[in-house]
């Protein structure tokens, strides 16, 4: 039995637009036009650079004469001697009239420093609530920020209040630093009080 190729027989024939061009209809490759403006500019730049190098080569060399060390010292003196006749310069003093540098080396300055009395301990109050469970919630929120707070009960003319406080602090600077760290944790209700 003869071997039949089923693959070639089932292929669709390509359309006329997809067929390969024959030798007769072979198109010539398109030539790109030469950018004459770019070529002319490149030649102009190369010629200009060559002329510049030739021009520098034609310039006479500048001779540098070294100045002796002694004449360098005397040259400014001769230039400074040119003075108008109506305004003569004063004579140079033989010694320095001001001795402030030597005096300042041996001088001591005494300053009276008065010590400031401590303003007292400070405390920070972060909330005041009517119900104790609200105060405990605020205390837990502060504890998650890394600070230890206390809930204090206070009775006043307008009823019972539960205050959430931190401290005491020795200085206001320490209390302010803790308040700033609490503000970074979105606890913005804290106030610093002088606790005395």
Mean pLDDT, the chain, rounded, equals 81
Which tens digit of pLDDT belongs to each residue from 65-97? 777 665 444 545 445 555 566 777 888 777 766
pLDDT tens by residue, 159-173:
999 999 998 998 899
Domains of the chain, by residue range, sit at 122-194
> Which pLDDT belongs to residue 184?
94
In angstroms, rounded to a whole number, what is the distance separating the alpha carbons of residues 181 and 189?
12
Residue identified by tokens 């490149």 is 42
pLDDT in tens, 99-155: 777 777 778 888 888 887 777 799 999 999 999 999 999 999 999 999 999 999 999
Q: Whole-model pTM? A: 0.41
| Bridge partner list, 164 | 127, 151
122-194 topology per CATH: Alpha-Beta Plaits (3.30.70)
Residue 5: pLDDT band with limits 50, 70, 90:
low
State percent of the chain over pLDDT 90: 42
Q: What proportions of the chain, in percent to the nearest 5, are helix, strand and coil?
A: 35, 15, 50
191-194 sheet: strands from edge to edge = 150-156, 159-169, 122-129, 191-194
Tokens 């080396």 label which residue? 105
- What percentage of residues in the chain have a pLDDT greater than 70? 72
């Amino acid at each position: 039995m003869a071997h039949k190729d089923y693959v070639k027989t089932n292929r669709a024939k390509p359309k006329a637009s997809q067929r390969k061009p024959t030798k007769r209809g072979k198109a010539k490759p398109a030539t790109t036009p030469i950018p004459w403006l770019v070529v002319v500019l490149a030649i102009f730049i190369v010629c200009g650079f060559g002329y510049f190098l030739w021009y520098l080569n034609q310039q006479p060399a500048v001779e540098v004469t070294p100045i002796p060390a002694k004449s360098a010292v005397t040259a400014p003196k001769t230039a400074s001697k040119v003075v108008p006749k109506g305004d003569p310069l004063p004579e140079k003093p033989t010694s320095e009239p001001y001795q402030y540098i030597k005096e300042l080396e041996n001088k001591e300055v005494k300053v009276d420093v008065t010590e400031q009395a401590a303003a007292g301990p400070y405390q920070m109050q972060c909330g005041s609530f009517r119900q104790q469970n609200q105060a405990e919630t605020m205390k837990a929120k502060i504890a998650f920020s890394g600070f230890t707070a206390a809930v204090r009960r206070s009775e006043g003319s307008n009823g019972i209040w539960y205050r959430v406080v931190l401290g005491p602090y020795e200085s206001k600077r320490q209390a302010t630093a803790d308040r700033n760290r609490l503000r970074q944790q979105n606890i913005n209700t804290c106030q610093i009080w002088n606790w005395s």
